[in-house]
Amino acid sequence: MRQGKSKIRGEVQGTFLKGCVYVEEKFYLILAKNSAQMLLINKLLRENGIETDLVPSPPESGTVCAIAIKIQGVNLEKAKNILFENQIEVRGIYEDKKMKLQGLIDKKLGASVSKEFLDILKKIEDGDELLEKEIVYLLSTKDIKEIESIYAAADRIKRETVGNVLEIRGAIEFSNYCCKKCKYCGINSQNKIERYRMNEEEIMEVVGYLNKIGLRTVILQSGEDPHWGTERLIQLIKRIKIETGMRITLSVGEKSFEEYESLKLAGADNYLLKIETTNRKLFKTIHPDGDFDSRLKCSRWLKELGYINGSGNIIGIPGQTIEDIARDILYFKEMGINMIGIGPFIPAKGTVFENMPPGDIDLTIRTMAVTRIVCKKVYIPSTTALASLSKDAQIRALKAGANTIMLINTPAKYRTNYMIYNDKNMVDIDSAIYAAKKAGLELPKYLKL
């Protein structure tokens, strides 16, 4: 469902001419009390012929990143009746308003930047959606004043949507076995590296530590490893839930709908499956055994199953253009992605891209800032890949729209073998706290240190 102007037939009074008038169509967001209710409401509405879309919840709803059900204004009364008839109470129904940001443009700025840039900034102030060519402009301008105002706008949108608090999550890379051949990735099946696989006890030991320091979310990431299949993962998820109650993010690649469903039912909350690039041709080149449509289908399934849906891309992958990146950003918005991981390409030893140059740090940070401007209330990690190229860059990203840091909690004896790219940095709790301080972000209240 595309937001925007809808065209209705109308008559021009006093003449015989029939014409078209454009009215701004209203959309509403229904916020359920929990994710099970959200899925139930979504199902009921669809069964009753109401078109719905699942999108990140509006800023005024409080909780960061819950999923809202978006409906057209014309269906509001019908939807309310369905809720009433089924005795479903909701947390709230909000009009899907544009986010206005008055005060981005002042006289001084007006005199020193281009007219084209000012027009784009005006659209951001008014909460209007940006076009691809405008996003390309923001990603490519070399003007220092313009770049500063892009970062300032992103920072302001971050504060007004997710707040000025750093979200910290702990990642465990529990297996580097992989059956895929992704050309850029250092743990791809073709690469001759030492392989490891953690067992449940080893994983639980790390989960216990993360829980002890107060973190709320553990990220379980691996290659596509058949020996850590869905059944085994279900046992692990259940155990983490029972013993710690932590939220669980899975990042274990492509699976069938039924597998995603059973992992969700077992207790998984979030899923990170990056689209990597929305350029189909480029996708095929870098994923010889992958298929763009399958990956897209997986991401849609995750959304329909009520996962907090993570995606993202790689900046500077050989063959990518600025237009590709602009289209990636529009895709994140259109898909209603909740968590967007944007990292620079880093060559990995032993891969065919081993001698390619790394992605540009500034372009990566700029992409994060523009993604914040376009997608608003989403999680944007200041990625490990960025920190691996430069510690300072990770801090800069946190000042330019990023709000999350993922700690790497893979045990030391395995960590060096999870080399998806060279010289992968170690992001620990101390460096996350340091980065938060340097970037002027508050630490989360849940941290127990």
Residues that bind ligand SAH (CB under 6 A): 184-185, 221, 223-224, 251-253, 273-274, 276, 314, 343, 345-346, 348, 385, 420-421
Distance of closest approach, residue 282 Cβ to ligand SAH, in angstroms: 13
Output DSSP code: residue 403.
-
Residue 387 beta carbon to ligand SAH: minimum distance, rounded to whole angstroms:
12
Q: Are 284 and 258 in contact (CB under 8 A)?
A: no
Question: DSSP state, 60?
Answer: G
Secondary structure of the chain: what % helix, strand, coil (to 5)? 45, 20, 40
CB 109 within 8 A of CB 147: no
Place of tokens 């060096």: 416
Q: Which is nearer to ligand SAH, 36 or 179 (CB)?
A: 179
60 vs 289 by CB, closer to ligand SAH: 289
Rank residues 30 and 272 by Cβ distance to ligand SAH and give the closer one: 272
Residue with smaller CB distance to ligand SAH, 182 or 429: 182
CB closer to ligand SAH out of 64 and 314: 314
Residue 58 or 343 having the CB closest to ligand SAH: 343
CB < 8 Å & 24+ apart, contacts of 22-25: 25/72, 25/73
Nearer to ligand SAH by Cβ, of 174 and 345: the residue is 345
- Which amino acid would we find at residue 218? V
Q: What is the DSSP letter of 154?
A: H
Minimum CB distance to ligand SAH smaller for 69 or for 314 = 314
CB of 229 to ligand SAH, least distance (A): 14
For the bound state, the minimum distance from the C-beta of residue 274 to ligand SAH, rounded and expressed in Å, comes to 4
Instruction: Tell me how far, at minimum, the Cβ of 143 lies from ligand SAH, in Å.
Output: 28
Single out the residue of 257, 256, 249 nearest to residue 274, CA to CA: 249
Q: How far is the CB of 61 from ligand SAH (least distance, A)?
A: 29
CA gap 70, 101 in Å, rounded: 23
Q: How far is the CB of 170 from ligand SAH (least distance, A)?
A: 15
The least distance separating ligand SAH from the CB of residue 205, rounded to whole angstroms, comes to: 22
How far, in Å, CA of 402 to CA of 396, rounded?
9
Yes or no: say if 386 and 371 are a contact pair by the CB < 8 Å rule.
no
Residue 399 has which token pair?
């000042």
Distance between CA 167 and CA 57 in Å, rounded? Answer: 17
By C-beta, is 119 or 423 nearer to ligand SAH? 423
Q: How far is the CB of 186 from ligand SAH (least distance, A)?
A: 6
Residue 41: what residue type? I
Contact 345, 25 (CB under 8 A): no
**Residue 321 dihedral angles phi and psi, to the nearest 5°:** -115, 170
Q: Please, which residue, 68 or 368, has the CB nearer to ligand SAH?
A: 368
Q: Tell me how far, at minimum, the Cβ of 406 lies from ligand SAH, in Å.
A: 11
Q: How far apart are CA 27 and CA 25, in angstroms?
A: 7
Cα gap 397→395, rounded to integer Å: 5
Show Cβ contacts of residue 293 under 8 Å, excluding neighbours closer than 6 positions. Answer: none
Distance of CA 95 to the CA centre of its chain: 23
Q: Cα 27 to chain center, whole Å?
A: 23
